[in-house]
Amino acid sequence: MKLPELAAAAQRLRTPPRPSNFRTTACLATYPWLLATARDLGSDPWAWFCRVAVMTYGWMPRVLRLDLQHARAAAQALHAAREATPATMRQLDIAPIASSVRSVVGASKMLHFVNPQVYPIWDSRIEAMRLGGAAGMAHMGIADHYWRYCDDVHRLRGEAGFRDFHAQMQAALDARLRREGLPAYAITEVRAIELAASELSADHDEG
């Protein structure tokens, strides 16, 4: 991914598609609520994990499947992800989370909701756009491919012109939310990149 290419997403984000894409609108509307809910740990780590998983799969075309064999390790890993930084993110073993929900893509979204400053959302449309070709189920099931995407995202954060890019994406999102009649909210640098990639990859099939 290259920053000048991603910058083209700002104008696309400003204007809602016609006919309306109600799924996209739902994602934009519920995003800040998901982050706020994911921050509320409660007193039961497993209940918190389940709550985040159920919310996450409201954003996905597939139903939630839970493999309870990995439940305890998955809840512990997701909890640990809250304290990760870009420098330490790869120290997290996401395998228990991915194994529990049967999806690396699903794990990426759960990770983003609990730590949106570090972990970007990943799906097959974004990966196809990033690689310049289709990303099949086998490819999307390999955690290292997600880590390479994470590295790409954080590399972009350090490029010249990124601050302007982030501001443009925030302004574009604000304009889109106003047009939809939704309240504005701030997005992290990681979310700005992922949102731009998602906008530009909209013509690909999601897996």
pLDDT tens digits, 126-137: 998 888 877 788
If you average pLDDT over residues 54-76, what whole number do you get? Answer: 92
Residue 19 is predicted with a pLDDT of 73
| Torsion angle of the four alpha carbons 174, 23, 206, 3, in this order, in degrees rounded to the nearest 10 | 0
CB half-sphere exposure, 12, CA atoms < 13 A: 15
Residue 156 is predicted with a pLDDT of 96
pLDDT for residue 205 is more than 50: no
Residue 203 is predicted with a pLDDT of 57
pLDDT tens digits, 183-193: 999 999 999 99
If you average pLDDT over residues 44-67, what whole number do you get? Answer: 92
Please check whether residue 28 is in contact with residue 181, taking contact to mean a CB–CB distance below 8 angstroms.
no
Crossing angle, helix 189-200 and helix 124-131, to 10 degrees?
Answer: 80
Give the phi and the psi of residue 53 in degrees, each rounded to 5.
-65, -45
pLDDT tens digits, 75-124: 999 999 999 999 999 999 999 999 999 999 999 999 999 999 999 999 99
pLDDT tens digits, 19-50: 777 888 899 999 999 999 999 988 888 999 99
pLDDT for residue 204 is more than 60: no
Q: Which of 3-7, 11-15, 56-60, 184-188 has the highest mean pLDDT?
A: 184-188
Residue 18 is predicted with a pLDDT of 72
DSSP character for 85? -
